[in-house]
Amino acid sequence: MKLALGFFVLIATLATIAHASDPSPLQDFCVAINDSKAAVFVNGKICKNPNMVVAEDFFFSGLNKPGNTSNPLGSKVTPVNVNQLPGLNTLGISLARIDYAPYGLNPPHTHPRATEILVVLHGTLYVGFVTSNPADPNLKNILFTKYLYPGDVFVFPEGLIHFQFNVGHENAVAFAGLSSQNPGVITIANAVFGSDPPINKDVLIKAFQVDRKVIDYLQAQFWMNNN
Give the Cα separation of 117 and 12 in Å (integer).
11
| Residue 169 labeled ligand binder | no
Fill in the amino acid letter for 129.
F
What dihedral do alpha carbons 1, 152, 90, 159 form, nearest 10°? Answer: -150
| Residue 162 labeled ligand binder | yes
> Which residues, 6 or more positions from 197, have their beta carbon under 8 angstroms from its beta carbon?
none
Length of the chain as a residue count? 227
| Residue 111 labeled ligand binder | yes
Cα–Cα distances in angstroms (integers) from residue 145 to residues 130, 154, 170, 216, in the given order: 9, 10, 21, 32
- Name the β-bridge partners of 68: none
**Burial of 111 from C-beta contacts in 10 A (0-12 / 13-18 / 19+):** buried
| Residue 56 labeled ligand binder | no
Fill in the amino acid letter for 183.
P
| Residue 122 labeled ligand binder | no
Q: Phi first, then psi: give them for residue 106, nearest 5 degrees.
A: -95, 100
Q: Residues annotated as binding site?
A: 106, 109, 111, 116, 162
Q: Residues annotated as binding site for Mn(2+)?
A: 109, 111, 116, 162
Q: Residues annotated as binding site for oxalate?
A: 106, 111, 116
